[in-house]
Structure 1
């Protein structure tokens, strides 16, 4: 027996409100904002710090600053991925 459309829509709305209440509230008010997975404020800040460390390390030939800048850039790149929480580990722990 198919589920009525109203029930499906209310389930979707309640799940959306649980996952990202700010997005759901803004959507209900008619002022939509980006969902949580597409907000990259921390990633941009970390990328700026990474580029500052990398360029400082290149100007003052200092390997530790270059390495730190590259590591921070890698972390910032990971933060830009909107589906990073959905990925599973490559080698799940097996119970033997």
Structure 2
């Protein structure tokens, strides 16, 4: 006998609470926030830091700062990029 719809909903709510408690609490309060997959604030700060390090490396003519800035910008750009494994993502053709 298949589980009832109520049991499925309870299981789904428990999994959501376990995976992203901030999102689940916000839904309960009636003021939803972005799910974890769409929060990229840290990635944007990393991108800004990388650009600042890259710019200061160029201004000071320091190869090590330029290299660190390029690495930081590359890492942050990967984090800012949406999940390419998601269905419906338009990748390169």
The verdict on a shared fold, with TM-score over 0.5 as the criterion, is yes
Corresponding residue of 1:68 = 68
The list of structure 1 runs, each at least 4 consecutive aligned residues, that deviate by more than 3 angstroms after superposition, is none
Matches within 5 A, 1:5-84: 5-81=5-81
Count of aligned pairs between the two proteins: 84
Uncovered stretches (5+) of structure 2, i.e. residues with no partner: 84-93
Corresponding residue of 1:92 = none
Which structure has greater helix proportion?
2
Tell me the distance in 1 between the aligned counterparts of 2:54 and 2:36: 29
Uncovered stretches (5+) of structure 1, i.e. residues with no partner: 84-96
Tell me the distance in 1 between the aligned counterparts of 2:80 and 2:30: 27
Normalised to the residue count of structure 1, the TM-score between the two structures is: 0.75
Tell me the distance in 1 between the aligned counterparts of 2:3 and 2:82: 31
Normalised to the residue count of structure 2, the TM-score between the two structures is: 0.78
